[in-house]
Copies of this chain bind each other. A is one copy, B any other.
Amino acid sequence: MAKVPVEEVIRFSTDCFKALGVNAKAACQQADMLYQADRIGYFSHGLNRLEFYVNDVKNGACTPNKQPKVEKETVSMAWVNANNVFGSTASHFSMDLAIKKAKCSGVGWVCVKESNHYGIGGYWAMKAAKQGLMAFALSNSSPLLVPTRSKKAVLGTNPIAFVAPGCDDDYFYLDFATTAVSMGKIAFYARKGRKLPDGWALGPNGKMTNDPKEAMKARQLMPLGGTESSSGYKGYGLAAMVEVLCGITAGSKYGHHIRSWVLSNKSGGSANLGHAFIVMDPHQFAPGFKERVSECLSYWRNMEPADPKLPVIAPGDMEKLVGGKTDREGTITYIKRILEHSRKIAKDLKVKPLKEIPL
């Protein structure tokens, strides 16, 4: 493990993309997207994925020097063709458009096709919240979630992000995958030699497993809620709903048609993912919106906890805590594996390596 100054995280990723011929703006925005995930502790979506994005550019699966364009629009909506640019380019373009429309008509609903992985949805929704609006950011992704009763993953983790502004820069922040747990959590149980609870994952035989190693092999996650009797069909329904709002509406790839995301020298073709950015201006409704959001956040935070060591928190408080710590310290601590990957990428692309500060 080592600490890395935050400006180095962004500098390094930017340099990697630039070394591949990506224009400065796209390189910088994509680097920032990765940094924003690590900043709040979503390490699976940060530097950890740099190699995947680099690979997509190298093998031609992603074409970051193109430009997204609007295919069709009304006063409240727009259908965007991302033209296979970076997910961050597509998302800045589309969220900015949704914000503009929401400021004009009260609502901005933008659907995007031909896009790539956009990192953490909460970051995009937050763009709107910073301007006093509330927003959803939704995206489909490669199959990993197994519909209730079935044996095979045919839906992505299809995360839902929703952010709403409160008073004094406070906000309600929700960003979660529609699977019961993440592959990262399964891997953690495998490392600790702990058995998985029921309702988290299937094994390679298509049956539920309590063995994290079998689950790692199979990569078939159960939906939020877990087993059918614990309402796993609700998580399945949520993942499917996100797919209806993203790929099915946008006319991109969807569900079982989405290719897996692997490291390969040969392009598996463009990902053609779909996103939805839905922005609404709460000022169009009842006055006092931010005050009510803040009153709720504060009420939840002050509830008596079942376990005094585990205070009740409001949605997004964990992210705020970690993000605040990163901002104060100005560094991010990475595990060995991510640092090794970064060194390898630096060497491959002949880019100045990440500055690592030993702990």
* Contact B229 A197, beta carbon cutoff 8 Å: yes
Asked if A348 CB lies within 8 Å of chain B CBs, one says: no
The residues of B that contact A284 with a CB separation of less than 8 Å are 72, 74, 77, 79
* Contact A304 B248, beta carbon cutoff 8 Å: no
The residues of B that contact A162 with a CB separation of less than 8 Å are 241, 244
Within 8 A of B (CB), among A259-318: 280, 282, 284-289, 292-293, 296, 299-300, 303-307, 310-315
Give a binary string over A205-235; 1 marks a CB under 8 Å from any B CB, 0 the rest: 0110000000000000000111011110111
Q: Which of B106, B251, B300 makes the CB contact (< 8 A) with A76?
A: B106
- Please choose the segment from A43-51, A89-97, A145-153 that sits at the chain B interface, where 4 or more of its residues have CB less than 8 A away: A145-153
Q: What residue in chain B is nearest A107 (Cβ atoms)?
A: B76
Q: What residue in chain B is nearest A80 (Cβ atoms)?
A: B285
* Contact B225 A180, beta carbon cutoff 8 Å: yes
The residues of B that contact A150 with a CB separation of less than 8 Å are 300, 303-306, 312
* Contact A176 B312, beta carbon cutoff 8 Å: no
The residues of B that contact A280 with a CB separation of less than 8 Å are 77, 109, 249
Asked if A105 CB lies within 8 Å of chain B CBs, one says: yes
Question: Once the chains are docked, how many angstroms separate the CA of A154 from the CA of B180?
Answer: 23
The residues of B that contact A151 with a CB separation of less than 8 Å are 303-306
* Contact A240 B313, beta carbon cutoff 8 Å: no
From known contacts A111-B285, A226-B230, infer whether A241 and B174 are also in contact, taking CB-CB under 8 Å. Answer: yes
* Contact A285 B249, beta carbon cutoff 8 Å: yes
Asked if A86 CB lies within 8 Å of chain B CBs, one says: no
The residues of B that contact A256 with a CB separation of less than 8 Å are 299
The residues of B that contact A12 with a CB separation of less than 8 Å are none
Question: Once the chains are docked, how many angstroms separate the CA of A311 from the CA of B147?
Answer: 11
Asked if A32 CB lies within 8 Å of chain B CBs, one says: no
The residues of B that contact A181 with a CB separation of less than 8 Å are 230-231
Question: Once the chains are docked, how many angstroms separate the CA of A248 from the CA of B180?
Answer: 28
The residues of B that contact A172 with a CB separation of less than 8 Å are 240-241, 244
* Contact B154 A299, beta carbon cutoff 8 Å: yes
The residues of B that contact A206 with a CB separation of less than 8 Å are 304, 306
* Contact A105 B75, beta carbon cutoff 8 Å: yes
The residues of B that contact A255 with a CB separation of less than 8 Å are 296, 299
Question: Once the chains are docked, how many angstroms separate the CA of A314 from the CA of B207?
Answer: 20
The residues of B that contact A75 with a CB separation of less than 8 Å are 75-76, 105-106
Q: List 10 A-B contacts (CB under 8 A).
A: A77-B105, A134-B245, A150-B303, A162-B241, A164-B244, A172-B244, A176-B233, A206-B306, A248-B293, A251-B289
Starting from the known contacts A79-B286, A228-B310, 18 additional A-B residue pairs (CB-CB under 8 Å) come to: A74-B105, A77-B105, A149-B306, A150-B312, A152-B303, A154-B300, A164-B248, A176-B231, A176-B237, A180-B230, A224-B225, A233-B315, A243-B296, A248-B296, A249-B285, A249-B286, A249-B289, A255-B296
